[in-house]
Amino acid sequence: MIDVKDLIEQPEKYRASQEARGEDASLVDRMVEADASRRASITAFEELRAEQKAFGKKVAKAQGEEKQALLAEVKDLAARVKEAEAAAGAAEGRVAELQRGFPNLIVDGIPSGGEDDFVVVKEVGAPRDFAAEGFEPRDHLELGELLGAIDMERGAKVSGARFSFLKGVGARLELAIMQMGMDLALENGFVPVIPPTLVRPETMQGTGFDVEHDDEIYRLERDDLYLVGTSEVALAGYHADEIIDVDAPVRYAGWSTCYRREAGSAGKDTRGIIRVHQFNKLEMFVYATQEDAEAEHARLLEWEERMLAAIEVPYRVIDIAAGDLGLSAARKFDCEAWVPTQGTYRELTSTSNCTTFQARRLNIRERVRQEDGDGGARRGGTRMVATLNGTLATTRWIVAILENHQNADGSVTVPVALRPYLGGMERFELV
């Protein structure tokens, strides 16, 4: 959630953020009005409560007919207090409702606009010229079938459309990618975690997902639990309602299976494993101080790029436009790998700075240390931490590796960095 106090003090900043996102800037005015109504309602309730307490003392001292008359007034006053309390509660609820649906304040300097308005930060590597090499590249599914690595037909037979079996070198390749990512995470102080993949509604909502209207989320209605589309959800909820020490960033690397309905992608990428309902992902999740968040975001992007360099595929980094950020992110970078048979770049990793948005929803704070008069430090109040996330590996990486490293006969050369994770294997041969 956004900081309502900050919005009241600097409404123009939030109007500009809404306009950059292509969202309704009048939501700022509604928030200001709702907060003013909340404050007025609370004041009215507190004044009546004080009057009620004072009146009670007066009744206690009265006798006879005077007391009976005062008791009648007490009854009327009690009804007015109850009405004022209900009004204050309703006003609080209105502010909370608006606050919960208000997108995060964007970081200054990111592109305005929607999905197609991203800015290319850099391009690394050049796509292969398959024509010069004398053959037409095969797509990842054809290669996967030749290698005995991907079986979509049996995936559909067992589970339906957009499910697959990874087997043989396909299964080994995914494990190799994930383990290489985990080793990089461990080198950089991440704690490895295998989190739950079913979470409560309050955890899903706290992370910034709309459980009532998001068609991408799988729900188990009987248990009122949700299947996660990223381990970010469980890792965000891990420290809910806690005060934690983030003097140094707290870093977790979550390895989990993830689930997405892909309801909004009808007719898109129906061939192969680019858009599937179930996949594996290694997700970085970080708790940091508000001051460290931007620097930590840059580090997450750097680690993602190290992974992409290791698998030796051409890629680009894009700065996502405000209107394509989603509710929680204040800034997001995507790393997209070149997919030869599609002649375009496709997302492999994403890293988001969510500032204090998720922490405010989940009530995750740090203790503020204040200087004392003797040059030391003493414990003060609390404030919200910042949260960030980024992907180190997913099932989709198989697409980029197979297509970019294929040979004319359908075999695939294994990137050098992955070979130690595959028992020294240098090539995937046809079966």
Is 350 annotated in the active site? yes
Q: What are phi and psi of 108, to 5 degrees?
A: -55, 140
pLDDT score for 51: 84
User: What per-residue confidence (pLDDT) applies to 376?
Assistant: 58
Q: What is the mean pLDDT of residues 242-261?
A: 97
Q: Which contiguous run of DSSP H or E holds residue 392?
A: strand 386-394
Burial tier of 201 (Cβ tally within 10 Å: 0-12, 13-18, 19+): middle
Q: Which helix (H) or strand (E) holds 160?
A: none
- The residue-averaged pLDDT of 336-344 equals 97
pLDDT of residue 266: 66
Q: Which two tokens stand for residue 20?
A: 């950059």
Out of 114-123, 210-219, 238-247, 384-393, which region has the weakest mean confidence (pLDDT)? 210-219
Residue 311 clears pLDDT 70, i.e. is over it: yes
Helix, coil or strand: residue 412: strand
Q: Which is catalytic among the residues 260, 299, 360, 361?
A: 260
Question: Known catalytic residue: 383?
Answer: no
Min mean pLDDT across 46-60, 85-99, 250-264, 269-283 is at 46-60
d(CA 194, CA 212): 27
Check 331, 350, 360, 365 and give the catalytic one: 350
| Phi/psi of residue 51, nearest 5 degrees | -65, -40
The per-residue pLDDT for range 70-84, each reduced to its tens digit, is: 667 777 888 888 999
Give the pLDDT confidence of 358-374 residue by residue, as tens digits: 999 999 999 997 766 66
Domain with CATH 1.10.287 in the chain: 4-101
pLDDT attached to residue 268 = 73
Is a pLDDT exceeding 80 seen at residue 127? yes
Mean pLDDT of 118-126: 97
Looking up tokens 């290319």 gives 120
- Tokens representing residue 283 in the block: 């997700």
For the question of residue 275 being annotated catalytic, the response is: yes
Answer yes or no: is pLDDT of 297 > 60: yes
Q: Does domain 4-101 have CATH number 2.60.40?
A: no
The yes-or-no answer on residue 361 being catalytic is no
> In this prediction, what percent of the chain has a pLDDT beyond 70?
93
Q: Is the model more confident about 213 or about 327?
A: 327
Amino acid identity, position 80: R
**Cα torsion at 88, 92, 98, 103 (round to 10°)?**
150
Q: Which residues contact 269 (CB under 8 A, 6 or more apart)?
A: 275
Average pLDDT for the chain? 93
Residue 414 is encoded by which pair of tokens?
């294994």
Please give the helix or strand (H or E) that residue 227 lies within, else none. Answer: strand 225-227
pLDDT of residue 29: 96
Distance, CA of 86 to CA of 261 (rounded, Å): 40
Distance CA 409, CA 194 (A): 39
The catalytic residue among 21, 38, 94, 396 is 396
Residue 347 annotated among the catalytic residues of the structure: yes
Residue of 30, 347, 367, 429 marked active site: 347
CA dist., res. 290 & res. 261, Å (int): 34
How many CB atoms are located within 10 Å of the residue 8 CB?
Answer: 15
SS (H, E, C) 285-354: EEEECCCCHHHHHHHHHHHHHHHHHHCCCCEEEEECCHHHCCCCCCEEEEEEEEECCCCEEEEEEEEEEC
75 Cβ neighbours under 8 A, 6+ residues apart: none
The Cα 357–Cα 362 span in angstroms is 9
CATH 3.30.930.10 domain extents, the chain: 119-428
Task: Kindly write down the DSSP assignment for every residue of 360-371, as one continuous string.
Answer: HHHT-EEEEEEE
Report the distance separating Cα 227 and Cα 199, nearest Å. 7
Q: Which of 15, 49, 261, 275 is catalytic?
A: 275
The pLDDT of residue 156 is: 96
Would you give the DSSP letter of residue 155?
A: H
* Predicted model pTM: 0.91
Topology classification of domain 119-428 = BirA Bifunctional Protein; domain 2 (3.30.930)
The pLDDT of residue 270: 78
